[in-house]
Chain A
Amino acid sequence: MEKNSKEIQKKLTTVKYNCADSSHLSVNQEICAKCKEKTCTFICPADVYIQDENTGQLVVQYENCLECGACKIACPKKNIEWRYPSAGCGVVFKNS
């Protein structure tokens, strides 16, 4: 089943976030370049990881992160340095 990025974007419009000053997610692009699975690009419920069609580089749209932690565990190369956003920042669920 193809990932429906459009639908995810639509859902994300219902999510509130507080300040997103700097990225709490980082990857080593050299390791990603050699990664065949690209698990992060389909596993993330917020579609945070996108492979740039032109450069082949991984773009990390950390602002959309729902802080579930799935990418960090699912990445077969353990290549995601996953921290929490700064204190008070990041996702704010009000109805969940």
Chain B
Amino acid sequence: MNIEYNADVIVVGGGPAGISAALEVARAGRKVVLLERSHYAGSKNMYGGAVYTHALKEVFQEDFDKISYERVINSHTWAFLSEDSSFELTYKNSSNNHAYAIKRFNLEKQLIELVKSKGVYFCPDTLVVDLVTNENRVIGVKTSIEEYLAPVVILADGVNSLLARKIGLRQDFKRHDFILSAKEVYKFDKKTIETKFNLKEDLSNGINKQYFGSDFGKLKGYKNLFMMSFLYTFKDSVALGVGVNLEDLSKNKLNISDVLDEVKKHPHIAPLIENGEMIEYSAHLIPEGGYKKVPALYSDGVIVAGDAAGFVNGVHFEGTNFALISGKLAGKAALHALEKEDFSASTLSVYRKYLENSFILKDLYSYRNIINNLYKRSNSLSVYYPNKIKEFFEIITSANCTSKSSQIRKFAYNFIFGRNPLDTIKDMFAFLKCALDVFFGK
């Protein structure tokens, strides 16, 4: 059958993965259409907030310097929270610029403008409801209005990818494989943020904090929440959010908004948002299935990239870099197929090779067991160790007129025998396994 195509490549989803895929195709002089369901690209998307600059540079090359940001994120803190204490480790390097805090509304807006100038046909307000197939090969998409046809379709439609599911590239969704996250953004004047967080006026530094621990406020008593909270500073606002595994929320009948309210009340977090005006509440899922849940990545005439393929490293809050680079590689695979004029799965399988040679499948592979291992030890991570850290530092800092040795001996004894010692052994194995996986990974 002779098919009349409207474009060489159709990309579904105007997030970082889709934008990058479309740019790669346009750079080669091929006709590419980028379809986005929202009116303003970025307005459906939410993240912590920082986009990684190495990936941005690799994708946007000479245009990278045109991208404006709110703050450079170069201070990272890992904090362990107990009821009334926090233990914080900070790594700060004011001369690095590996990450930019940019709000998604503004990030996608800028990136879309850049790719339009390189020849990408961008169609907002365009919802893809189905894929068009011919003899089991994808040959285009069906929007709510009409059909668009192209020999290659790239699905970059995000974590809920209904389309990848529809054509059977993706398995059924399981609760356990997702983190549900809610976030609130607080507005301040710029100066207040700079004073509060000790930041420079020129936006050349900003803060990211990652909080572990759930044993405080009304969350006390929930013993196994796999939960992480986060904070990012923007130019004149602060984003505070929390993510909890969807299975844990379901089992414990918890609402993520209530969890966030408890985080907000923690004595070491409350002052950070005090007197700020809440200007936006949002929620989003994060795919956390990892390597083992990566779907079939291509089939005849179609490729999947970004969150739709489950490409994130949840341990380090990395997602935009995976999206940008997997998008680029999807574009490259599409070009390869166009060159060969063969759009079969076997030709498109180069995509998997590209991914295997990049950090994407290497990191996903090296981290394949980590989320699961940590998940199994979530009581240790969220409750036991944050409390033990507190006990330890109380001994060190209290000057309570009792001999240090006796206190430390008691602490060590309690540390091991205060709960089933088997738990400590299991933790050791789990953490060691995580470390070995990464060390001997790809």
CA distance A45 to B241 in the complex (A): 13
CA distance A43 to B39 in the complex (A): 28
Per-residue contact bits, chain A 9-39, to B (CB 8 Å; 1 contact, 0 not)? 0011011001000000000000000000101
Within 8 Å by CB of A42, from B46, B255, B261, lies B255
Per-residue contact bits, chain A 65-96, to B (CB 8 Å; 1 contact, 0 not)? 01111101110100000111011101111111
Within 8 Å by CB of B174, from A14, A43, A73, A95, lies A73
Within 8 Å by CB of A84, from B37, B173, B219, lies B37
Say whether B250 contacts A43, CB under 8 Å: yes
Known contacts: A11-B281, A73-B175. The answer to whether A93 contacts B127 by CB under 8 A is no
Among B39, B159, B174, the one with the most A-chain Cβ atoms within 10 Å of its Cβ is B39
How near does chain A come to B107, taking the closest CB pair, in angstroms? Answer: 11
Say whether B280 contacts A4, CB under 8 Å: no
Within 8 Å by CB of B283, from A18, A46, A73, lies A46
Known contacts: A45-B257, A70-B285. The answer to whether A96 contacts B45 by CB under 8 A is yes
In the complex, which residues of chain B have a beta carbon less than 8 angstroms from the beta carbon of A74? 175, 246, 249-250
The answer to the question of B184 belonging to the interface, with a C-beta cut-off of 8 Å to chain A, is: yes
Chain B residues within CB distance 8 Å of chain A: 37-40, 42-47, 103-105, 124-127, 143-145, 159-160, 162, 173-175, 178, 180, 182-185, 218-219, 237, 239, 246, 249-250, 253-258, 261, 278-285
14 CB contacts below 8 A, A to B, read A1-B258, A7-B258, A18-B39, A68-B283, A68-B284, A70-B180, A70-B283, A73-B174, A87-B37, A87-B144, A93-B44, A93-B104, A96-B239, A96-B280
CA distance A43 to B247 in the complex (A): 10
In the complex, which residues of chain B have a beta carbon less than 8 angstroms from the beta carbon of A67? 44
In the complex, which residues of chain B have a beta carbon less than 8 angstroms from the beta carbon of A90? 38, 44
How near does chain B come to A49, taking the closest CB pair, in angstroms? Answer: 11
Say whether A12 contacts B281, CB under 8 Å: yes
The 7 closest A-B pairs by CB, nearest first: A11-B281, A88-B125, A45-B283, A96-B46, A87-B127, A95-B280, A69-B160
CA distance A73 to B279 in the complex (A): 28
Say whether A88 contacts B124, CB under 8 Å: yes
Say whether A11 contacts B125, CB under 8 Å: no
CA distance A86 to B104 in the complex (A): 21
In the complex, which residues of chain A have a beta carbon less than 8 angstroms from the beta carbon of B249? 43, 74
Size bin of chain A's contact surface:
35 or more
Within 8 Å by CB of B103, from A39, A82, A96, lies A96
Give 11 new A-B contacts, CB below 8 A, not counting A74-B250, A95-B185. A4-B255, A66-B284, A69-B160, A73-B246, A73-B285, A76-B250, A83-B162, A84-B162, A87-B143, A88-B124, A95-B105
Within 8 Å by CB of A66, from B178, B184, B282, lies B282
Say whether B184 contacts A42, CB under 8 Å: no
Say whether A94 contacts B218, CB under 8 Å: no
In the complex, which residues of chain B have a beta carbon less than 8 angstroms from the beta carbon of A15? 280-282
How near does chain A come to B49, taking the closest CB pair, in angstroms? Answer: 8
Per-residue contact bits, chain A 51-75, to B (CB 8 Å; 1 contact, 0 not)? 0000000000000001111101110
Known contacts: A39-B250, A68-B180. The answer to whether A92 contacts B261 by CB under 8 A is no
CA distance A29 to B246 in the complex (A): 24
CA distance A39 to B279 in the complex (A): 28
How near does chain B come to A15, taking the closest CB pair, in angstroms? Answer: 6
Within 8 Å by CB of A70, from B145, B178, B281, lies B178
